[in-house]
A = this chain, B = another copy of it.
Amino acid sequence: MSDPNASIEYARSQADRYLAELKELVAIPSISTLAEHKPDMQRAAEWVAGQLRGMGMEHVQVMPTGGHPVVYADWLHAAGQQTVLIYGHYDVQPADPLNEWVSPPFEPTVRGDNLYARGASDMKGQVHAFLKALEALLRDGKLPINVKVLVEGEEEIGSANLGPFVHGHRDLLKCDVVLNADAGILRPDQPSLVYGLRGLAYFELWVYGSDHDLHSGMFGGSVHNPAQVLCELIAGMHDANGHITLPGFYDKVRQLGDDERASLAQGAHSDEEWQRMAGVTKLYGEAGFTTTERLGARPTLEVNGLLSGFTGEGQKTVLPARAMAKISTRLVPYQDDKDVENQFKAYLAQHAPPTVRWDLRNLSSAPGVLVARDTPAAHAAGEALEATFGKAPLFRLEGGSVPVVSLVQAVLGVDSILMGFGLPDDNLHAPNEKLHLPNYYRGIEAYIRFFSDMAH
């Protein structure tokens, strides 16, 4: 273990510069799902690479993939010490609906303790936090371990090209453990470590009726409306208890034991707190499980989008030719993400009426994951969090999906430390995304301590 205090002192003295830099990064609209932002993706990757070069990391490269590029760098001069691969992503979600943002999504704005911008919390703030931790340690020659940095640009669209990249660069990425900064904590003052993430299988479902839109007066009553059929199909995907009805969907779902249920309940948000953060008047979920269990330990199926017919102002009496839904499932260990497409198709084959045609497109998939809690790296992370926050971390399951965690488990044979600082009310993927700045600064300190603690 190396002494982190000088580096922490230095980091504290640089707070203003750090924030100014972070604003530069979040101002780049690196929306990975929209083709028109391709130049911004390159720009964000180069920005991260520039930071890595500036602090003295080596072999800094913006490496092409089948999609958006990956930024790689390393520093391997701590002979005999462990190698930590640090993971982040520089891409962000789309910003619409734009009119609901108080300040524009790519004009980062501080209000109170928060920095508002798309990507501030998910996850440019956290990428920048580990960059600044490395910078502070390297500055005085205090980095006591070997590090590799991997920052991808496709996390928000399922990391489809990261698999081939990791497979193709096993030697380059070889490491003892991964630090994955794409995670969150329960409350501003309550640190936590994530030991499980849900997987994701994302689909577009199309229902086709006529080969063209029809007049609803002239044809209404004689043909099956594809928007109605789509609604009927979606309605049937949950039963009255909130269980998902895709055949075989629960076959491999991990059951919770009493110990784990008790551990998850520790420090969990009350339903009242969660309801307030969700901004709803009443919670809802699968019968037989607590809110915390529903979020982290149970799979879900959500409609992410609906589109059919006329949606402009006023009225158009059209009987639409087709209807589309974006539908995604969040998967728990040990559900197989590849099975879900077949389960979905079996459901549709069983329930779609013969009056329409349908098409199911699987846009991405990744399995859920569990990581070991009792490892030296996990202990180092726990100590770093306790020293920074003055409280021991809780262990939690997170409802979101970070495809790279299962990928590095499978290909590199290493577990990940899921240590990040996002908050449940950061409006991830929604208007007015924010980063809680006190925890951004605590995050830098916690990462400095973690790297220091990893040295033997």
Which A residues have a C-beta under 8 Å from some C-beta of B?
33-35, 93-94, 96-97, 100, 122, 156-158, 184, 198, 200, 202, 209-225, 227-228, 230-232, 234-238, 274, 278-286, 291, 294-295, 298, 300, 302-321, 323-326, 328, 330, 353-355, 357, 363-364, 398-401, 424, 427-432
Contacts of A319 in B (CB 8 A): 302, 304
Q: How many copies does the complex hold?
A: 2
Q: Is the CB of B231 within 8 A of A399?
A: no
Closest to A158 in B: B315
CA separation between A363 and B270, bound complex, in Å? Answer: 42
Q: Is the CB of A353 within 8 A of B284?
A: yes
Partner of A303, one of B33, B34, B227: B227
CA separation between A228 and B242, bound complex, in Å? Answer: 11
Q: Is the CB of A357 within 8 A of B235?
A: no
Contacts of A236 in B (CB 8 A): 235
Closest to A296 in B: B221
Contacts of A221 in B (CB 8 A): 285-286, 294-295, 298, 300, 330, 399
Identify whether the interface residues of A are mostly helix, strand, loop, or mixed: loop
CA separation between A306 and B274, bound complex, in Å? Answer: 29
Q: Is the CB of B314 within 8 A of A309?
A: no
CA separation between A212 and B308, bound complex, in Å? Answer: 22
Contacts of A432 in B (CB 8 A): 212
Q: How far is the CB of A266 from chain B (nearest CB, A)?
A: 18
Contacts of A100 in B (CB 8 A): 212-213
Q: Is the CB of B214 within 8 A of A278?
A: yes
Decide yes or no: A33 and B278 within 8 Å by CB, A217-B330, A221-B300, A429-B216 being known contacts. no
